[in-house]
């Protein structure tokens, strides 16, 4: 019974942690516009958190640069299970337009396991919401 | 025009520099040798030219060059060829503290020796970087290693 | 009193982008700070040497998501300079229109970030709501909210249609009222002023020595705006004021940016009114002749410099990008020294950092 309530709460109110692992900022500002009055995802239960310990979902933007790789791993490890990862934007899926640069490990799935990939350069806010919804259906 | 005046004075300084072929630029430019950098900065300051836009490292026809781009109403560039591994320039940070990040970038990306600059920590490249100076065409030999061989 | 070092690390609610910032405190006062960049360094300048001139337009658009259009404009100006190509006036006007719309959206974004950092969440919501109007207008013109892909070498790829001009005028008049409201807040609201006045001070001498550019320089009395001093594009055909103040603190920077936003709206209205007829792109030669060209422009954060060198081949021999945030970052330790910990968030936001631009 308790498990059912917890499962329901997880689906109804996923808390997001946003980490920019070296991106141009385009996907980040589209992610931030989700909080603003036009899209307003807080009414859907999605809240943007500051600490890895509070978050259910890690939304990662940007390709992984050599300097952020260790931080990304550490943040992922600091998040309590169950946890999921969304790769938002073409750069975090495959390296995007920066693929082949000397300082980039293409895509975050080289570093941590990813559950949902959201393409786009930058990915639109509607696409991010769609990605979160698809993830929540997968969680069921 | 202050830039015009500075240009004339800098050219007098430049005529003592080595005769090297260089690319044309759309702004005024002066070729100088590495030890003429600080006197050139003094001339620019006397003509009220303070704003350093950036420092570019670029491979020109014969040598790697350092370009110092200044601006006041119009641009003026100092081009300093880096003849060999032993050529070094003085840091500008004593009179232009704003040159710090540009100099560190040139030192890190091209392996250019800049005297008086603290390059013990990396600025753009990651802490565990082992690839030498990434913007160089041939693999760089760091000046410190060269001295050890001597 | 013992000293404490607080890492404001790569992942922090204060920072939108990863940058490492170690602040040393004695009690409540900041006595030292150290920056570590490089988390967003993607090696773009090296990548540009392996791609063709046209492919690099897509690359340079993604140096920064906020000021993407000005980067491609400056790059295209440099390559057009090497080609000695004259861009049709209609194309230049469309480029300027997007540049000014980008300035408006960037300043509204900054306003929201500053307000959020000092605790005025409502202002964050209001300014980002108004920003959506600008993003819709940019999407109307170019097809993209954040990255536009409208520049090409020789001009622009899409033309402005009659219906779009009508929508632009309506959107701009709504924006004008909203920005006046924001100006009223910055100029009159006591809590905003209490949090932003007197902190992060830079004198005119500091601006000179550190070669600072943009609104940070203009807020300290250095009256330089490349749109007036080095009129690129067709800015010499339009009339606008360059706003500068002398207080040099975070409040002065806020005032400069809000006034600039109003001026940008007026510039957009002039551009629409004076839009000339004609082609939207000149045909560029396939090969870029050997040479070097420097192009400068005024991004929302200050002077952007592109140095492009061609050796006659398909790819550029060297592209150097200097973005304005680098100049502001050098001054951060100076701005923060002696301040209280509670003021750090306001100063960091007041400088309007764009680390993706700085690191490239």
Chain C residues touching B54 at Cβ < 8 A: 305, 307, 320, 322
Strands C29-36 and C151-152: unpaired
Which range, A124-138, B51-65, B132-146, C258-272, is most confident? C258-272
Average pLDDT, chain C: 88
Residues facing residue C8 across a β-bridge: C21
Fold classification of A13-139 (topology level) = Rossmann fold (3.40.50)
Crossing angle of the two packed helices B100-110 and C325-336, in degrees rounded to 10: 120
Chain centroid to Cα A95, Å, comes to 15
Question: pLDDT above 70 covers what percent of chain C?
Answer: 100
- Which stretch, A108-112, A116-120, B132-136, C116-120, has highest mean pLDDT? A116-120
Interface probe, candidates A19, A29, A122, chain C, greatest C C-beta count within 10 A: A29
Note whether C184 contacts A: Cβ–Cβ < 8 A.
no
With an 8 Å Cβ cutoff, are B129 and A65 in contact?
Answer: no
Residue ranges covered by each domain of chain A: 13-139
Q: What is the DSSP pairing of strand C3-8 with strand C291-299? A: unpaired
Residue B15 has pLDDT above 60, yes or no: no
**How many Cβ atoms from other residues are within 10 Å of residue C326's Cβ?**
24
Domain range annotation of chain B: 2-132
Report the predicted TM-score, pTM, of the whole model to 2 decimal places.
0.91
Look-up of token digits 């044309």? B24
Name residue A125's beta-bridge partners: none
- Alpha helix positions (H), chain C: 44-48, 53-61, 68-83, 89-117, 121-142, 162-188, 190-196, 204-210, 215-218, 226-229, 250-274, 325-336, 344-350, 355-359
Q: Mean pLDDT across chain A, nearest whole number?
A: 85
A43-52, C48-57, C191-200, C246-255: least confident range: A43-52
B51, C3, C12, C89, C230 from C221: Cα distances, Å: 15, 35, 33, 34, 19
Q: Which residue of A has its CA nearest to C18?
A: A20
Q: What is the average pLDDT across C27-36? A: 84
Structure tokens at B127: 């802490």
In the prediction, which pLDDT does C357 show? 85
pLDDT in tens, C187-246: 888 888 888 888 888 888 888 889 899 999 999 988 888 888 887 888 888 888 888 888
Find the mean pLDDT for residues C149-166.
Answer: 88
Residues 6+ away with beta carbon under 8 Å from C336: C23, C30, C33, C200, C344, C347
Alpha-carbon distance of C65 to C68, in angstroms, equals 5
Average pLDDT over residues C267-285: 89
* Residue % of chain A over a pLDDT of 70: 99
Residue of C322, C329, C359 with shortest CB distance to B53:
C322
* Over residues C337-352, mean pLDDT: 86
Residues of B in contact with C291 (CB under 8 A): 23-24
Query: Where do the structural domains in chain C lie, given as residue ranges?
Result: 40-359
| Digit-coded pLDDT (tens) for C299-311 | 999 999 999 999 8
How do residues C88-117 score in pLDDT, each as one tens digit?
999 999 999 999 999 999 999 999 989 888
Supply the ipTM of this predicted assembly: 0.87
Q: How buried is C254 (Cβ within 10 angstroms: 0-12 exposed, 13-18 middle, 19+ buried)?
A: buried
Per-residue pLDDT tens over the stretch B93-148: 888 888 888 999 888 888 888 888 887 788 888 888 887 788 887 654 443 333 33
Q: Kindly report which listed range (A10-19, A119-128, C293-302) carries the lowest average pLDDT score.
A: A10-19
User: Structurally, what CATH architecture does the domain formed by B2-132 represent?
Assistant: 2-Layer Sandwich (3.30)
CA pair distance C80, C77, nearest whole angstrom: 5
pLDDT at A103 over 90: no
The secondary structure of residue A9, as a DSSP letter, is: H
Q: Is the peptide bond before A82 cis (omega within 30 degrees of 0)?
A: yes
Q: What is the pLDDT of residue C104?
A: 93
CB C310 within 8 A of CB C80: no
- Work out the percent of chain C whose per-residue pLDDT is above 90: 28
The predicted structure's pLDDT at residue B142: 41
Contact A122, A97 (CB under 8 A): no
Predicted confidence at residue B24, as pLDDT, reads 76
Distances (CA, A) of A78 to A51, A88, C7, C11, C82: 9, 20, 17, 12, 52
The DSSP bridge partners found for residue C291 are C310
Tell me if C39 sits within 8 A of A65, measured CB to CB: yes
pLDDT of residue B146: 35
User: Measured between beta carbons, which residues in chain A are less than 8 angstroms from residue B131?
Assistant: 102
Which tops the pLDDT comparison, A137 or A10? A137
Q: What is the mean pLDDT of residues B2-25?
A: 70
Q: Characterize C286-316 residue by residue with b for buried, 16 or more Cβ atoms within 10 angstroms of its Cβ, and e for exposed.
A: eebeebbbbbbbbbbbbbbbbbbbbbeeebb
The average pLDDT across A50-70 equals: 86
pLDDT confidence band for A139 (50 / 70 / 90): confident
Is the Cβ pair A24, C10 closer than 8 Å? Answer: no
- Distance of alpha carbon C157 from alpha carbon C152, whole angstroms: 6
* Mean of pLDDT values over A80-103: 86
CATH topology for the C40-359 domain: Cytochrome-c3 Hydrogenase; chain B (1.10.645)
Give B-chain residues touching C305 at CB under 8 angstroms: 53-54, 69
Closest Cα in chain A, distance from residue C319 (Å) = 15
Contacts of residue A90, Cβ cutoff 8 Å, sequence gap at least 6: A96, A97, A119, A120, A121, A123
Higher pLDDT, A44 or C104: C104
CA atoms within 13 A on the CB side of C93: 21
C91, C155 contact by CB (below 8 A):
yes
């Amino acid at each position: 019974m308790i498990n059912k309530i917890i499962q329901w709460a997880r689906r109804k109110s996923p808390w997001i942690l946003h980490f920019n692992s070296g991106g141009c900022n385009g996907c980040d500002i589209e992610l931030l516009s989700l909080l603003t009055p036009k899209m307003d995802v807080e009414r859907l239960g999605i809240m943007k958190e500051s600490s890895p310990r509070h978050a259910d979902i890690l939304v990662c933007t940007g390709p992984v640069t050599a300097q952020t790789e260790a931080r990304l791993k550490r943040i992922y490890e600091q998040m309590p299970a169950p946890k999921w990862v969304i790769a938002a934007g073409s750069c975090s899926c495959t390296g995007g337009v920066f693929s082949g640069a000397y300082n980039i490990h293409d895509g975050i799935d080289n570093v941590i396991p990813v559950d949902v990939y959201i393409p786009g350069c930058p990915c639109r806010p509607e696409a991010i919401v769609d990605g979160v919804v698809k993830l929540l259906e997968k969680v069921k | 025009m202050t830039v015009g005046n500075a240009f004339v004075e800098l050219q007098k300084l430049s005529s003592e520099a080595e005769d090297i072929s260089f690319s044309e630029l759309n702004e005024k430019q002066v070729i100088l040798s590495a030890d003429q950098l600080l006197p050139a900065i003094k001339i620019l300051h006397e003509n009220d030219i303070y704003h350093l836009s950036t420092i570019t490292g670029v491979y020109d026809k014969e040598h790697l060059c350092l370009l110092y781009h200044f601006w006041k109403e119009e641009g003026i560039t100092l081009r300093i060829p880096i003849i060999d591994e032993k050529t070094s320039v003085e840091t500008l940070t004593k009179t232009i503290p704003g040159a710090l990040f540009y100099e560190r970038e040139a030192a890190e990306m091209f392996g250019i020796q800049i005297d008086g600059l603290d390059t013990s920590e990396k600025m753009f490249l990651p802490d565990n970087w082992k690839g030498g100076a990434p913007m160089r065409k041939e693999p760089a030999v760091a000046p410190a290693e060269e001295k050890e061989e001597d | 009193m013992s000293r404490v070092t607080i890492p404001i690390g790569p992942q922090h609610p204060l920072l939108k982008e990863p940058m490492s910032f170690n602040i040393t405190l004695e009690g409540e006062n900041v006595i030292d700070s150290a920056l570590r960049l490089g988390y967003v360094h993607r090696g773009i300048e090296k990548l540009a040497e392996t791609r063709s001139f046209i492919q690099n337009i897509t690359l340079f658009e993604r140096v920064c998501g906020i000021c993407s259009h000005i980067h491609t404009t400056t790059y295209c100006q440099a390559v057009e300079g090497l080609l000695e190509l004259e861009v049709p006036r209609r194309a230049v006007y469309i480029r300027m229109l997007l540049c000014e719309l980008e300035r408006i959206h960037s300043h509204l974004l900054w306003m929201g970030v500053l307000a959020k950092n000092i605790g005025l969440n409502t202002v964050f919501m209001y300014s980002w709501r108004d920003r959506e109007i600008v993003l819709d207008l940019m999407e109307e013109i170019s097809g993209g909210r954040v990255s536009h892909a409208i520049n090409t070498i020789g001009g622009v790829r899409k033309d402005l249609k009659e219906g779009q001009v009508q929508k632009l005028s309506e959107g701009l008049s709504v924006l004008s009222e909203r920005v006046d409201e924001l100006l009223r807040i910055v100029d009159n609201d006591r809590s905003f002023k209490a949090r932003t006045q007197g902190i992060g001070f830079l004198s005119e001498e500091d601006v000179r020595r550190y070669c600072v550019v943009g609104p940070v320089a203009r807020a300290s009395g250095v009256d330089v705006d490349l749109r007036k001093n080095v009129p690129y594009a067709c800015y010499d055909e339009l009339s606008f004021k360059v706003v500068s103040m002398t207080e040099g603190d975070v409040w002065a920077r806020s005032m400069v940016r809000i006034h600039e936003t109003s001026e940008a709206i007026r510039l957009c209205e002039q551009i629409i009114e004076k839009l000339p007829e004609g082609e939207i792109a000149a045909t560029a030669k396939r090969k870029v002749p050997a040479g070097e060209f420097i192009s400068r422009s005024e991004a929302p954060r200050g002077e952007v410099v592109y140095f492009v060198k061609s050796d006659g081949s398909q790819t550029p021999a060297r592209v150097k990008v200097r973005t304005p945030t680098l100049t502001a970052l050098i001054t951060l330790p100076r701005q923060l020294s002696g301040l209280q910990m509670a003021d750090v968030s306001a100063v960091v936001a007041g400088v309007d950092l764009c680390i993706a631009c700085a690191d490239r």
